[in-house]
Structure 1
Amino acid sequence: MKYINLVLLFLAIISCQKEVEPDTKMETIKYIERASGEIQSENVPGEGMLKWLYTSATGKAALNLLVKRKIVSSMGGWYMDSRLSAKRIPEFVNEHRINLNECEFSDIKHYKTFNEFFYRKLKPEVRPVEEGVVSPADGKILAFQSMNDIPSFFIKGSEFNLQTFLGDESLAKKYETGAMAIVRLAPADYHRYHFPASGKASESVKINGHYYSVSPLALRRSLKTFCENKREYCTLSTDSYGEILIVDVGATMVGSIIQTYQAHTSVNKGDEKGYFAFGGSTLVLLFEKGTITFAADLIENTKKGLETTVKVGENIAS
């Protein structure tokens, strides 16, 4: 019976039909479209379900007792890897206005499961690699030139502990006075991620954790989510920008973080590093103090409390 209940809960989550309690309130998430400079409102997939999970007493109970656990995300991964899930692709493409002409295979019939489409490859020419340090993913970015600037963005009481996040005291010490970028991938985004600079990449270190959502609706409530979710990190040793720490953070319904690069080898800026299976996900970049300067527009937008859209290969720092 418990497995039937788990299946029912999972189906409720992916259908996102849960009604929000009447007194539940959550702020509208706004961001800057970098190309135009216009402020946009984000359409958050599953917004009703997320509001229920993160703001109501009953939702929080379900979140902590069940939703954050591996079995729920594993069930989600099983479904998204099954041929049954392929029927969701056309609706997903239409709802999120995904440009199929950018995809390596533009015919959705090529993809036999939803996950095959979710971590689809793009044509190399649609993501040109620019000068300087570039975005490792398509998504929305926050850029903090100093770790001291982080508390100003998130709500009071939402603490970010670098040592807890990395699980390594000496590593935390290395980056505690440096800069940080958070690149958040929404479900509709391209979900392969790439190296932000050229250098030598170490092996990935895995940190076990839960599977909380990394939706902005959840993160605004608690940045500590990053310190509790499943994550992996590697060090990219560069000639021009010091040692960049790249942290891949999983989330609810992300059954897998897949690394496709070869550890202890030299990589070029823009080379693929890996991909996320279904769900929203996040990449965190940590830089040693004084090694980079973020683009002015990204810093200014972050100070205003706004994320900025970025694409793979697009300049974010020099």
Structure 2
Amino acid sequence: MKQHFTSALSQTFGRFASKEHGRIFQNMINRTYVRAMGLDMSDFEPPESYPSLNALFTRKFRHKRSFSHDPLDMISPCDSLITECGAINEDLALQIKGMSYSVDGVLGEGISSDSKKSIRNGTFVNFYLSPRDYHRYHAPIDMQVLHAVHIPGKLYPVNIPSLKKQVNLFIENERVILECLSAQGKRFFLILVGALNVGEMEVSFEPRIRTNSVLTPSQYSYRDLYLSKGDDFGCFRMGSTIVMLCEKEMLELGISTGHNVRFGQIIARLTSSR
């Protein structure tokens, strides 16, 4: 596939954001961004401690955030707005009210048909990370990662106005798909969706995935890759979206469309049966 103009724009922004501009100018950039976007820095180091804008985007907590260790509590993987959530209707989930997308389409050709069928009539959650949010993502439950699939694509914005006008946005955009199993043996997917100015989506356990640079799809399989609830497994280099697709009767949601959630907040309760 050819590089889309949105990818070229994002690469240009990524080069600026990755550059260390010198202490005085960089401090000005960082403080301006924090003020303009309304970042809450109370859990993080002060803005002037980050050597680049990307370092500020991908900041880590100064102290670990606490969360429930009950194995049946699912926590939010990130700080975000729930733009839509609910039941998957056969193969369809909501991008935004009144506009659906195909679950098979968003998962792409790298996921087996049997795995796709397992989440028919299941549950979905769309997490939108704005530029003001904490940009790292974490395991929502104890989980096994079976496969990672990288699908290059466009980098349209994923904010609310774009969700309302761009049909099949999650299918058109670049994404990284993680196929996972819960401790109860239930299948679910975490889909990292790229967006304008997201120069990179980092997956810490798979350095071979290089987003917004490689133009051919790739996929990787694992035998013994486990993440514990709360584990940090990567970051966006700006705001973006995580789509979660879960097998039928895997969980009961405790959040609704329009809720703002924070990493570590309980968002669902897992069913205890295998």
Name the larger-Rg structure: 1
**233 and 137 in structure 1: CA distance in 2 versus 1, 3 angstrom threshold:** same
Give, in angstroms, the shift of residue 238 of structure 1: 1.4
Answering whether residue 100 of structure 2 is matched by residue 140 of structure 1, we say: no
Q: Any idea what SS the aligned residue of 2:252 has?
A: coil
Deviation readout 1:39-71 (Å, 9 max, x if unpaired):
xxxxxxxxxxxxxxxxxxxxxxxxxx9642x21
**Percent identical across equivalent pairs?**
25
1:129 aligns with 2:67: yes
Give the structure with the higher percent strand: 2
TM-fit CA distance, 1:98: 2.3
Deviations 1:256-288 (A, max 9, x none): 11011366422110101210113x200011100
In the aligned structure 1, how far is the partner of 2:234 from the partner of 2:150?
14
Q: How does 1:1-318 map to 2 (within 5 A)?
A: 67-68=5-6, 70-84=7-21, 86=26, 87-103=28-44, 106-125=45-64, 127-130=65-68, 131=70, 132-142=73-83, 144-148=85-89, 150-151=93-94, 153-155=96-98, 158-168=99-109, 170=113, 171-240=115-184, 242-261=186-205, 264-278=224-238, 280-295=239-254, 298-299=255-256, 302=257, 307-318=258-269
For residue 127 of structure 2, give the secondary structure of its aligned residue in structure 1: strand
Q: Which amino acid aligns with 1:74?
A: Q
What is the CA distance between 1:176 and its match in structure 2? 2.2
- Distance in structure 2 (CA, Å) of the matches to 1:151 and 1:197: 23
TM-score using structure 2 length: 0.80
- Moved beyond 6 Å, runs of 4+: none
- Aligned residues of 2:119 and 2:187 also touching (Cα < 8 A): no
Structure-2 change in CA distance of 1:205 and 1:150 (3 Å): closer
RCO comparison, higher one (Cα < 8 Å, 6+): 2
Asked if 2 retains the 8 angstrom alpha-carbon contact of 1:154 and 1:223, the reply is: no
Given the two structures, how large is their TM-score scaled by the length of structure 1?
0.69
In structure 1, distance between residues paired with 2:261 and 2:95: 22
Q: Secondary structure at the match of 1:172?
A: helix
- Match of 1:139, as an amino acid? S
